[in-house]
Chains A and B, each alone.
Chain A
């Protein structure tokens, strides 16, 4: 199997990014009747959300909604999905953009299924990106069980020459093309939706929090994978250092966010993310005690109830204070906290510390050549200034949650359609 076919031209919209915002924008536009080209840099769709264990506040699996979206894509001939692809150049203007897309080789052709023998031919391993690098996967792999497209990926760079020659001789040979190279595709589109999403703030920048030197200081992204059944531990929340179940867990809010030296803005989703992860712990390790260190609990709108429920839970304590330092002591981690309510300095010891790291727009790190967009000083795209045929959605615009990203994306689809109709 390969990607859908769709033509480019006056009634075509390009969507850059195949996370929840990009998938939504593509589908909403295609179901109206436009042709859509959806470009995703990874080997599969789903972006950040497909790596989540559960969504807040319903604590439901993201794959449930994604599955419906994949069904919609599979059934819709108007959407062309390009994975392992990047936009390398944009020229032209509203109604008539010429876009160059670079498609990296998957080496897996889809012309025949990968056989057991082919899988067995490879023993080299690479860090498992789906699990945030917490475990390793063989270099010929299915990214995850619900991957769309449902195709293996070959990390050719990681193969030994023996493995390459073994693969060359293993049937079915038409399943793998080791000589595949990058291709470029030129398309003409009327409008572009930028849904390039976000990446977590690099916790290594937070020297005093000891992420790089202590295995049991993890990020909220890693916590999602620990809690997920498809994650590196099969859903067991354990300390990376010794595999023990933690009895005392700390969540450090604003790990980088609302901090002039790191991310001056609020990342908006980390409060709910930590409260959600506290619920994972309550469900999986009912005896564990949980402390959440925060500046303000920003559970906005409908999410207030979720906070109140945890506030009433005697296994969860909320401490208003900024964590200044994390130091290892024996097998534990000691947190120095300025308790702004009690007005004193606290020292508390924990088994596992989760850093609520923030949201960094991908656009800031990897600007798209030739794309006429305005960004703020943090790299988020400023929307709605001019309608120049380029619209943005989701975390490309602001740190935000799934529901708001879906809303943004649906609005962006309307703007793009207005251009197509002109």
Chain B
């Protein structure tokens, strides 16, 4: 069936006062061949309903709506079509350029051409066929407080659960606790960790299959279609089909051996908070050295601001732990005294009341100061304390010293493991390889990752979640803390972030929600965050693939495996639809039905580039639709104007820009190309992790190509911007236009 194209042009918002609407109409129905074109007044629900009706009545399957920004419409009010393209005539043209001006009109006409071209080139997306076979079973890895909670709550929401624990017992670290810190008013009483109750609830739940003493041998496939093989005495034969995974592998108390001045491993009566917890659980506080009762005990925190190298994330609960344990011994023995030495006492929120209770206790001595040396005199420990309140040094004699130390997440860094394995391979091949030296160094540096695998994912980019810092999984940890870089795998508890038990349990509920959401969305054929609900997915024309591996290496979500020859094996359920693979592919064989190399390139070529003597340069702006485009639209709200010689193309992520877009623009006569992407680096802001960073690398190739054509390489520039940079983007555009003025027009214009 031939396409039937309809174009709707908005006259409201002052658009008709600034532009020649008849001329736009002529562009649509004349050169662009639209079957139907009419005007409308605003993005209101009523107006949209009229458009929807018209679209249906005329059987239009390709629709272009040219008017205000997409933020002025709700998707549910827009017409359904094989392709619907919104063209922004308001913020991109009318509000940011001179009204009734030749250049402004040319800009509007070009945007209309570009939108119509995109609509013509786009195909109707269909959900991926596997959506009908999505498994909704949730795999929970780790059965501490977070894992147990995740398993129980997922089952309570109606899902089948497989719970895997490497130890023989359920309960994890919480099972070793005597009491836990308060979660309820009056926030002064220690609570029962209640872990036995949780274990019982999980063990007797018919929807939960528990495997203890079990680890994961391998996980292949993708979300909704994971095949998980377990390892251990009780492990089932063959693979289990799993929908989504909650990783709740907890933490390990850090090894305090490094704190020599605190006498750990030198004096038996210097113990860790874990040892002390055990004493409390056993109901006997005895000195390890001579089994005599403990009367005086001191608590110190390992790591302080004077020694930032010793820094660890322990501070999430260190102070609370010390207060809690001081109360243990005070409850056991009213004669006992507890000394807490600290730099900052950290009892956030209502837990200030817990602190207050300790302050009220005459047997708990809270001292701001640092323990500088510990020695053993006559069977007692003598602590040298630099008391920073009184400004003098103290000596305190105690029976037991308890060290509160950091929490090390039980995680594995999948990317580091992969790099380690690759480096070993290169080293094995011998010094002939150019990468030999780098690889030898990497082997040394990454040795700590050897045999750390947990999930054993059969992913080209490594067997576990990639880490950001300190072993915690990479995520947008402020706004979207559960979104890891592996779709369908959600971290929870002390493995995701430093946390106490109650908070870990709550964290597990959040992670379970995301796991459930993932399988539900996949079963509807939709992708998950951040393009939630998108049903389009890329197709790979493998006939033309040269096995260059760029797509398999660059995908931030590990969506693409490769076979022995290096041919990509795409997993649709791992994919987030960012289009970075499309941007990476030099052969241009990766395309979405509604976002393709041809579609974008043709829309760029649909711009009418004036001849050189018209003195109207053209600059292509490729901008991230999530941040740079809203910033550009905010410029309009603030009344900031910029050059009418730019033509903006929104892209899913700057990483989805294929260098061919830039080459096409230059050969079509554009005088320069500006790329606007998100900030990268440790505090990256890219919603797809590293799109703009990847583009920067690809940009190097473009510069080379420009030089080969004897063109100035500053004709292509990448700028990192934020969504709040509504002043910066117009300024960069105008400065770039000045530069083009200086270096002159594209010499290939019109050729």
Interface residue ranges of A133-149 to B (CB < 8 Å): 142, 145-146, 148
A4 at the interface (CB under 8 A from B): yes
Interface residue ranges of B466-499 to A (CB < 8 Å): 470, 472, 476-482, 497-499
Task: Determine whether the beta carbon of A418 is less than 8 Å from that of B506.
Answer: no
Task: Determine whether the beta carbon of A74 is less than 8 Å from that of B74.
Answer: yes
Q: Which of A172, A266, A320 contacts B349 (CB 8 A)?
A: A266
Of B29-37, B116-124, B311-319, B373-381, the one contacting chain A is: B311-319
Q: Which of B42, B156, B346, B513 contacts A111 (CB 8 A)?
A: B42
Give Cα distance in the complex from A412 to B72, angstroms: 30
The residue on A at minimum CB distance from B492 is A407
Contact with B along A44-69 (1 / 0, CB 8 A): 00000000000100111101110111
Task: Determine whether the beta carbon of B44 is less than 8 Å from that of A112.
Answer: yes
Task: Determine whether the beta carbon of A414 is less than 8 Å from that of B724.
Answer: no
Q: Please give, as numbers and ranges, the residues of chain A lying within 8 Å of B75 by CB-CB distance.
A: 74-77
Of A99-107, A179-187, A328-336, A372-380, the one contacting chain B is: A372-380
A5 at the interface (CB under 8 A from B): yes
Contact with A along B285-317 (1 / 0, CB 8 A): 000000000000000000001001001010110
Q: Please give, as numbers and ranges, the residues of chain B lying within 8 Å of A403 by CB-CB distance.
A: 477-479, 481, 497
Task: Determine whether the beta carbon of A406 is less than 8 Å from that of B479.
Answer: yes
Chain A interface main SS type: loop
Of B205-213, B387-395, B641-649, B733-741, the one contacting chain A is: B387-395
Task: Determine whether the beta carbon of A265 is less than 8 Å from that of B353.
Answer: yes
Task: Determine whether the beta carbon of B478 is less than 8 Å from that of A58.
Answer: yes
A275 at the interface (CB under 8 A from B): no
Q: Please give, as numbers and ranges, the residues of chain A lying within 8 Å of B517 by CB-CB distance.
A: 28, 31-32
Q: Please give, as numbers and ranges, the residues of chain A lying within 8 Å of B499 by CB-CB distance.
A: 301
B269 at the interface (CB under 8 A from A): no
Q: Which of B503, B513, B638, B678 contacts A145 (CB 8 A)?
A: B638
Task: Determine whether the beta carbon of B479 is less than 8 Å from that of A304.
Answer: no
Give Cα distance in the complex from A143 to B351, angstroms: 37
Task: Determine whether the beta carbon of A300 is less than 8 Å from that of B348.
Answer: yes
Task: Determine whether the beta carbon of B316 is less than 8 Å from that of A300.
Answer: yes
A400 at the interface (CB under 8 A from B): yes
Give Cα distance in the complex from A67 to B158, angstroms: 32
A343 at the interface (CB under 8 A from B): yes
Task: Determine whether the beta carbon of A65 is less than 8 Å from that of B479.
Answer: yes
Q: Please give, as numbers and ranges, the residues of chain A lying within 8 Å of B463 by CB-CB distance.
A: none
Q: Please give, as numbers and ranges, the residues of chain B lying within 8 Å of A142 by CB-CB distance.
A: 637
Of A162-170, A188-196, A214-222, A305-313, the one contacting chain B is: A305-313
Contact with A along B493-515 (1 / 0, CB 8 A): 00001110001001101101110
A385 at the interface (CB under 8 A from B): yes
B12 at the interface (CB under 8 A from A): yes
Task: Determine whether the beta carbon of A5 is less than 8 Å from that of B76.
Answer: yes
Q: Please give, as numbers and ranges, the residues of chain A lying within 8 Å of B72 by CB-CB distance.
A: 1, 150
**Looking at A75, A116, A299, which has the most chain B CB atoms within 10 Å of its CB?**
A75
Q: Please give, as numbers and ranges, the residues of chain A lying within 8 Å of B238 by CB-CB distance.
A: none
Known A229-B724, A300-B346, A418-B156: A264·B353 in contact at CB below 8 Å: yes
Q: Which of A61, A75, A399 contacts B723 (CB 8 A)?
A: A61
Of B229-237, B442-450, B611-619, B626-634, the one contacting chain A is: B626-634
Known A65-B480, A146-B630: A414·B157 in contact at CB below 8 Å: yes
Known A110-B44, A266-B347, A385-B184: A67·B76 in contact at CB below 8 Å: no
New A-B pairs, 10, CB < 8 Å, besides A65-B476, A300-B346, A410-B509: A1-B72, A55-B478, A59-B683, A61-B722, A265-B349, A301-B315, A304-B311, A398-B349, A406-B480, A414-B153
Subset of 18 A-B contacts with CB under 8 Å? A1-B43, A31-B528, A60-B685, A65-B476, A67-B626, A71-B626, A74-B73, A74-B74, A113-B12, A150-B72, A228-B724, A298-B346, A300-B315, A301-B315, A380-B350, A399-B349, A415-B509, A421-B157
